[in-house]
Amino acid sequence: MTNKVALIGAGVMGSAIGTRLLETGNQLSVYDLDRDRIAALVAKGANAAPTAAAAAQASDFVILSLNSPKIVRSAVFGTEGVAAGARAGTLIIDMSSIDPESTKILAGDAAERALGWLDCPLSGGAPKAIAGELTVMAGGNSDDFERSKTVMEHLCANFTLMGPSGAGQTTKLINQVLCALNFVAVAEATQLALDAGVDAVRIPGAIAGGRADSAILQEYMAKMALKDYTPSGSISNMVKDLNGVQDLARLTGTPMPLTAVCAEIHRLLVSAGHGSADNAALMKYFEGPGA
């Protein structure tokens, strides 16, 4: 079955999602404020839409890949936004990472316009999106979840409904706590290996399958050791997620001392001008001043 999908947001993740959908035979209409990003997907077979409304009008599913609740709201409910063009019953699949409370409000506003809403934040980054191996945590009703599978099966290796609207975003924040702490731990361990004269590139293979093993260790220690900061994520995006984690922790009264230290390390790197750098650039913190 060929799905008609609108993609709103064609940054690093959106582009990877769009590429995968095209490669698996879906019809894709794409809209982004950056025309070069649209052109890159058009070259792969997508249709360029002049507005988010136009993209939605031609589609049964709308995927959002955006950076903040404010941008999501503007893209969906603003002038020439998704809601202005989408037919009743269109399902919005929000793959952005935003806070749970904003998600609940957005989903309610969509329901008032007879639009479905599923919050579907992801884990795995652009490489997993292109391979169709994302981990996605969903929030919404079970009917929308089941309906979304015709699209999401092309993108996901693990797709789980966690509860009502906002539950997917809450689970993503928990995921980001684990990821952020792991990134910092791997960077710190990599620097120790380098300082001690051990070949850090060989460590992931040497301890594979042991208790210290992880996907982040396997993907990132060699990158960190080789100072390969080719972007597949960014420090600033992690700060955004950690801010969301700390907001939720204040709301729930949950003490999170390790997360607080981890967040400050990320913020220091942003203040030093490394916000757009890959997560591997956490090495710059451990390299010391002037790195």
Which residues does the annotation mark as catalytic? 172
SS3 annotation, the chain: CCCEEEEECCCHHHHHHHHHHHHCCCEEEEECCCHHHHHHHHCCCCEECCCHHHHHHCCCEEEECCCCHHHHHHHHHCCCCHHHHCCCCCEEEECCCCCHHHHHHHHHHHHHCCCEEEECCEECHHHHHHHCCEEEEEECCHHHHHHHHHHHCCCEEEEEEEECCCHHHHHHHHHHHHHHHHHHHHHHHHHHHHHHCCCHHHHHHHCCCCCCCCHHHHHHHHHHHCCCCCCCCCHHHHHHHHHHHHHHHHHHCCCCHHHHHHHHHHHHHHHHHHCCCCHHHHHHHHHCCCC
CA-to-CA dists, residue 145 to 148, 205, 243, 246, angstroms: 5, 38, 28, 28
Structure tokens at 284: 């710059």
Which residue(s) pair with 63 in the sheet?
7, 93
Two structure tokens written together for 272: 């030093």
Q: Whose CA is closest to 268, among 237, 235, 242?
A: 235
